[in-house]
Amino acid sequence: MFRLRAGFCLLIQLLFIPALLAPRQGRPIPPGMREADKQTNSPIEAPVASKRSASDPAKLQEEAAELAKLSSEVPAQIAKVNQGQLPKDLKDQLKRIERLAKSLRNEIAP
């Protein structure tokens, strides 16, 4: 009985130990995944510095003066709106203020 049990244990060991020692092969990796990993892990190139043209000081001064003039007129026109009157050029004037402010901001901001 002891020999039978020892023989059975030896047989089990001979069958399963090589399977345990063999390298495991998981799911196969699709061909595109390896290439994507290479590209993902590749070094990042430095961004190209954009060259801004030099700002024209006269143009900046002119836009700033126009912006100041337009914005100084807004409180009086808003007072008219509060009285129930809608100045016909208020909407256009506010849009022009936005455009001037954006233009100035883009010229002076890095």
Q: What is the pLDDT of residue 79?
A: 94
DSSP code, position 84 = T
Closest CA to 109 of 71, 52, 67: 52
Q: What is the pLDDT of residue 72?
A: 95
Identity of the residue numbered 61: Q
Cα distances (Å, whole numbers) of residue 30 to 34, 35, 42, 98, 99: 7, 10, 19, 53, 52
Neighbours of 93 (CB within 10 A): 16
Query: Per-residue confidence of the chain (110 residues) as pLDDT tens digits?
Result: 777 777 777 767 766 666 556 555 667 777 777 777 777 666 677 766 655 566 788 999 999 999 999 999 999 999 999 999 988 899 999 999 999 999 999 888 76
Looking at the whole model, is its pTM more than 0.85?
A: no
How many residues in the chain? 110
